[in-house]
Amino acid sequence: MKKTIFIVAAARPNFIKIAPFYKHISKFPDLTLFLIHTGQHYDYNMSDTFFNTLDIPTPDVHLNIGSGSHAEQMGKTMIAFEQLCLKHQPCMVLVFGDVNATAACAITAKKCLIPVAHVEAGLRSFDREMPEEINRILTDSISDILYTTAEDAQAQLLKEGIPKANILFVGNVMIDTLFHHLDQSESTHFYETLNLKKKEYSMITLHRPSNVDNPSILHDLVNVFIDIATFLPVVFSVHPRTKKQLQSFDFYEKLNQHPNITLLEPIGYLENINLVANSRLVLTDSGGLQEETTALNIPCLTLRRNTERPVTISHGSNRLVGVTPKRILKEIHQIIDHTSPKYPTPSLWDGQASHRILKHLNTWLN
């Protein structure tokens, strides 16, 4: 009899991490994946095309949790997810990353006496004002299996008292998806459709509340982006929430009217990777982009004061620059005035992390 694994996703980045599991699952005939979309966020780019591009099946269940406060989202998710656990009695619940649904489903599964495996375990920003940090700590503390993306994450879990036998260093599932679709993304030639030249533009993304909800910080960043555009074309992929804040603070038109700045509505996965891979540098506050730029050897300036992905700094092309304009511009000039070195790819970021996880789960469950 096949063993059912619940695989939980809440938003677009989770599905990008889940995609490679469906590439390998046929190699494990004793396992079946049951895909649950909690719908934690309304997602602007989750059309059928998105699922087809990544070869992901339609979710088996959509919980339609929607937006709300952290407590509201987690409470609704736990109530709905408990019913699924009781009905289907899965052998394992597999959760990803650090969204509210990750912690909510992990807690619920444990209350139902179902084992939990956490992909991307051990990541720490050491900033407990970030809701994601709370979700990471909670999930790791109760998981039966902790799959890590980097050796520093394993060391952190050991410091926190997690038994070594419960931790497995497998690599990075997001990089599995990146490498699998890289050639396909190049065939889009998306950056060329924007009249951009290879390695002669900067790409920007911005979405964290600490950056977009503070008018003073957002004002400084907008001015920095305009300064950058005087010597390097800027393409800014604008998250809907960021656009709303830019408009409410009267910054949007200032950017939109600049001849050397291209503002984009949310774009598809392949187009996004094409822009990143062909850029001179990336400015972002995204965790995923820190990893993708490291894998692609693209210089990345992270507009935050901390990161839960230190391997992207110690072994990659990422630099923490905060939100101080002078520091940001100094680092950009340092990049464009010098040839970027070739950084070593972090260990096990080889496109096989999802296969390692399924192989381990197959053994563990049997």
Catalytic positions are 207
CA dihedral 203, 44, 294, 353 (to 10 degrees): -160
Q: CA torsion sign, 210 to 215 to 220 to 222? A: positive
Nearest to 123 by CA among 141, 136, 108: 136
Kind and range of the H or E run holding 229: helix 215-229
Nearest to 53 by CA among 274, 249, 201: 274
Nearest to 304 by CA among 175, 189, 209, 183: 209
96 in Cβ contact with 126 (< 8 Å): no
Identity of the residue numbered 340? S
**206: helix, strand or coil:** strand
**Alpha-carbon distance 348 to 171, whole Å?**
5
Nearest to 346 by CA among 295, 290, 282: 295
Kind and range of the H or E run holding 320: strand 318-320
Written as six digits, the tokens of 39 are 């719908």
